[in-house]
């Protein structure tokens, strides 16, 4: 079962259950698929739109969260995140925050993850493990973490309780979970959120956060 290292409870969360008064419930979604996702290319901050599958996934996200009360919806400023969030237009105010953008990968944006770019991929893996390496014009992991942390703090100041949806990116959402759950980089590295997966983090004022995974009815075999 995935995410055992996070001690995450995997279950179907009842839609429409309001958050308790002392809890901020963060629904954490990844944007829908793009052509670069499908091709296995690293996007970073390259502004790639959703493909047909991604647009369907955005609609399914809206359907999956039907009946869930939301106080706000936050996306990154990148098109693939904004397009996904737009599928929930009218449900709550939508705010685009550049602080939620994916990590800028500099010289490695557009890199294929298959055998064609094996040598450069190995260089990326080596350099991305260094917290202060800005990847030749991109951002270092530490810079990305600090930016995401500032955006998350802004959201939590605006919403100390209630429910919000964040439509982020694979790397950005990993950083959000790392911050909220107090994970070190090694433990956080096991997180691999799909384009159609939703996590729910319940953040308490005086207790440890709880991580849930929202499982649609056609994936109940994950329970």
Report the catalytic residues: 31, 102
DSSP state of 44: T
| Secondary structure E strands in 94-143 | 94-96
Rounding to the nearest 10 degrees, give the CA dihedral for residues 168, 173, 179, 180.
80
CB 14 within 8 A of CB 191: no
Alpha carbons 67 and 16: distance in angstroms, whole number: 5
Task: Spell out the residues 6+ positions from residue 75 whose beta carbon is closer than 8 angstroms to its own.
Answer: 81, 82, 84, 85, 94, 95, 96, 97, 100, 166, 167, 168
**Beta-carbon count within 10 A of 92 CB:** 18
């Amino acid at each position: 079962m995935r995410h055992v290292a996070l001690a995450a409870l995997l279950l179907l969360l009842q839609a429409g259950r309001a958050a308790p008064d002392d809890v901020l419930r963060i629904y954490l979604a990844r944007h829908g698929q793009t052509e670069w996702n499908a091709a296995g290319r690293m996007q970073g901050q390259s502004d790639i739109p959703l493909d047909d599958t991604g647009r369907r996934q955005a609609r399914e996200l809206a359907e999956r969260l039907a009946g869930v009360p939301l106080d706000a919806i936050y996306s990154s400023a990148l098109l693939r995140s904004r397009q996904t969030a737009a599928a929930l237009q009218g449900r709550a105010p939508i705010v685009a925050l550049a602080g939620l953008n994916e990590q800028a990968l500099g010289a490695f944006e557009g890199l294929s993850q298959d055998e064609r770019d094996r040598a450069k991929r190995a260089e990326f893996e080596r350099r991305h493990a260094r917290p202060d390496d800005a990847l030749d014009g991109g951002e270092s992991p530490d810079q990305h973490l600090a930016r995401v942390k500032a955006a998350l703090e802004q959201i939590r100041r605006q919403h100390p309780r209630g429910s919000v949806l964040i439509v982020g990116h694979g790397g950005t959402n990993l950083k959000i979970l790392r911050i909220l759950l107090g994970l070190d980089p090694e433990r956080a590295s096991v997180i691999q959120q799909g384009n159609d997966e939703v996590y729910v983090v319940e953040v308490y004022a005086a207790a440890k956060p709880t991580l849930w995974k929202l499982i649609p009815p056609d994936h109940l075999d994950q329970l």
